Chains A and B, each alone.
Chain A
Amino acid sequence: MPLALRLEHVSFAYGHGAPVLRDVDLAVERGEFVAIAGPNGGGKTTLLRLILGLEQPTSGRIEIAVERRGYLPQRAQTAIDAPLTVRELVGAGRVARSRLFGPLRASDRTAVREAIERVGLQARADRRLSTLSGGQQQRAFIAKALAGDPELLALDEPTTGVDVEAQEAIAALLRQLGQELGMTVLYVSHEFGSVEHFVERIVLVREGIVFDGPPSALPGVWHDPSHVHA
């Protein structure tokens, strides 16, 4: 499979602080579903932000071979006070794929409807986001990212504050969507127990990459919760 992205000897520090990431090498193929896990403060989110171009590396090289990218930031929730419907949220994710001026075209409205259906929220499309459960809100944000037809979907702790059942349901949904749409999925989580069964590959980050392989080869010591807060 062709590569979706490649990082070579990437290091990063915020300002003049200590390096958050050192000498990271990573290659991800198109269509892969990769979990990026590791302790809090280990550099997972920074790695994702570097891949998405939201931060620039201090040194090293980042090559991204996909054009359309979707992003679900940590604790995805909109800061706005006004009532926002699911359809409006998902429609906002379609803007980059449609014309900039004027209303959405019929084809864009169809894409928005399909994205809502893919996450199973069609019955709640015109409901206000604030009236949905945490898991449903996360699904709405996933639909927003899907509305842009992303080749790469990056999610940062998408299941924070969501119960275990909903965490597994979201991970299963992402795996299914990745397979159906041929999308590369990067899933950052410190609670990787819920995604372990759905991903092909886990990358453990702790200032650098300390493990990269299938979940079955993950050293048992990493299942010790104490590492999560190391």
Chain B
Amino acid sequence: MLDLEFMRLAFGAGIVVGLLAPAVGFFLVQRRLSLVGDGIGHVAFAGVALGYLLDFPLVLTALVVSMLGALSIEGLRARRRTAGDQALALVFYTGIAGGVVLVSAAGALNVNLFQFLFGSILTVTRSDLAVIAGLGAGALAVIGLLYRPLVAVVVDEEGARVAGLPVAPLNALTAGLAAVTIALAMRVVGILLIAALMVLPVIAAGRVAWSLRSTMLLGMGIGLASVLTGITTAYYADLPPGGTTVLVAAATVLVAESISLVRR
């Protein structure tokens, strides 16, 4: 399997996304914003459509539009003018509707679009992998450096604000990291499934972990294992890699839940 270059590239992209998605999702899940990834994913669809229309690199337009969507959700939530789920619904539906209109205008309602909706990891090129690895490593480094203040905001947002932490920039950073993750992971599991890879490994980890830090690290491990198992299974069983990866991640939640029940 690893004799084939497209498989090596797929595993390379999968390793980065498998580690990054749960690392970012960890902060969203703890803030009870698990569905934010889904919302930003739908905005990314509008970004892909815009890329088709303007003939720009699709990952670039998806990244820019996702970033705008993520910051809009965070801005609306932070100003408390709109409840979190309403802010999400507003951006979610505007993104998908905008995407449909733009993609129709670009005449791109075709198979290529499905690559982004459902993932197409086997078509990752060397240059794609370079972008995914570079941005992914940068995002993971940011999380590593700012882990403590990001956790302080997650644990007690108002307490952090009173203590003098820059809460709004840290929340904007979390939203930005989510946008980067989604833009990078589009090819791996697809826009419609990326949120699953951000959330499911963290939920599974939370069932068996013994601390906050171990939840994040276990989540990253489960994310990585899900992607590697998903791609391998998909290769041998001729299944779609994106969907298979998410089903493996969902299975880890069931296993972790069972372990947690047995330990009680």
* Chain A residues within CB distance 8 Å of chain B: 52-54, 67-73, 76, 78-85, 88-89, 91-93, 95-98, 100-104, 126, 128, 144-145, 148, 150, 154
A103 vs B130: C-alpha distance when bound (angstroms):
29
Which of A53, A71, A76, A97: most chain B Cβ within 10 A?
A: A71
Against A, the Cβ 8 Å flags (1 = close, 0 = not) of B44-69 are 00000000000000000000000000
Q: A83 contacts B154, CB within 8 Å?
A: no
Task: Check A88/B159 contact, CB under 8 A, given A80-B30, A95-B152, A102-B145.
Answer: no
Q: A83 contacts B215, CB within 8 Å?
A: yes
Task: Check A95/B210 contact, CB under 8 A, given A100-B146, A144-B159.
Answer: no
Q: B149 contacts A95, CB within 8 Å?
A: yes
A154 vs B163: C-alpha distance when bound (angstroms):
11
Known: A73-B158, A95-B160. 15 other contacts (CB 8 A): A68-B163, A69-B164, A70-B162, A71-B163, A73-B159, A81-B206, A82-B202, A83-B206, A83-B209, A84-B211, A88-B155, A93-B152, A93-B163, A95-B149, A144-B159
A89 vs B26: C-alpha distance when bound (angstroms):
16
| B148 → chain A closest CB, angstroms | 5
| B220 → chain A closest CB, angstroms | 13
Which of B148, B162, B206: most chain A Cβ within 10 A?
A: B162
9 contacts between A and B (CB under 8 A): A67-B164, A82-B202, A88-B213, A89-B155, A92-B160, A93-B163, A95-B160, A100-B148, A154-B162
Task: Check A53/B162 contact, CB under 8 A, given A79-B32, A82-B30, A102-B145.
Answer: yes
| A145 → chain B closest CB, angstroms | 7
Q: Specify which of B32, B151, B154, B158 is in contact with A54 (CB 8 Å cutoff).
A: B158
Q: Specify which of A52, A81, A85, A102 is in contact with B30 (CB 8 Å cutoff).
A: A81
By secondary structure, the A interface counts as loop
Q: Specify which of B32, B152, B161, B211 is in contact with A92 (CB 8 Å cutoff).
A: B152
**Contacts of A98 on B, CB cut-off 8 Å?**
148
Q: B154 contacts A80, CB within 8 Å?
A: yes
Q: B156 contacts A92, CB within 8 Å?
A: yes
> Ordered nearest first, which 4 A-B pairs have the shortest CB separation?
A96-B163, A71-B162, A82-B215, A92-B152
A29 vs B213: C-alpha distance when bound (angstroms):
40
A83 vs B209: C-alpha distance when bound (angstroms):
7
Q: B156 contacts A73, CB within 8 Å?
A: yes
A82 vs B151: C-alpha distance when bound (angstroms):
12
| A71 → chain B closest CB, angstroms | 4
Task: Check A82/B155 contact, CB under 8 A, given A95-B149, A95-B160.
Answer: no
By secondary structure, the B interface counts as helix
A181 vs B203: C-alpha distance when bound (angstroms):
41
Q: A82 contacts B162, CB within 8 Å?
A: no
Closest to A52 in B: B162
Against A, the Cβ 8 Å flags (1 = close, 0 = not) of B125-169 are 000000000000000000001101101101110111111110000
Q: Specify which of B29, B160, B202, B212 is in contact with A85 (CB 8 Å cutoff).
A: B212
**Contacts of A93 on B, CB cut-off 8 Å?**
152, 159, 163
A72 vs B158: C-alpha distance when bound (angstroms):
9
A98 vs B210: C-alpha distance when bound (angstroms):
25
**Contacts of A70 on B, CB cut-off 8 Å?**
159, 162-163
Task: Check A82/B206 contact, CB under 8 A, given A95-B149, A103-B148.
Answer: yes
| A75 → chain B closest CB, angstroms | 12
A69 vs B160: C-alpha distance when bound (angstroms):
10
Q: B158 contacts A71, CB within 8 Å?
A: yes
Against A, the Cβ 8 Å flags (1 = close, 0 = not) of B177-202 are 00000000000000000000000001
Q: B211 contacts A96, CB within 8 Å?
A: no
**Contacts of A83 on B, CB cut-off 8 Å?**
206, 209-212, 214-215
**Contacts of B212 on A, CB cut-off 8 Å?**
80, 82-85, 88
Closest to A76 in B: B156
Q: A85 contacts B161, CB within 8 Å?
A: no
**Contacts of B161 on A, CB cut-off 8 Å?**
54
Q: A100 contacts B149, CB within 8 Å?
A: yes
**Contacts of A102 on B, CB cut-off 8 Å?**
145
**Contacts of B215 on A, CB cut-off 8 Å?**
82-83
**Contacts of B152 on A, CB cut-off 8 Å?**
92-93, 95-96
Closest to A53 in B: B162
**Contacts of A78 on B, CB cut-off 8 Å?**
155-156
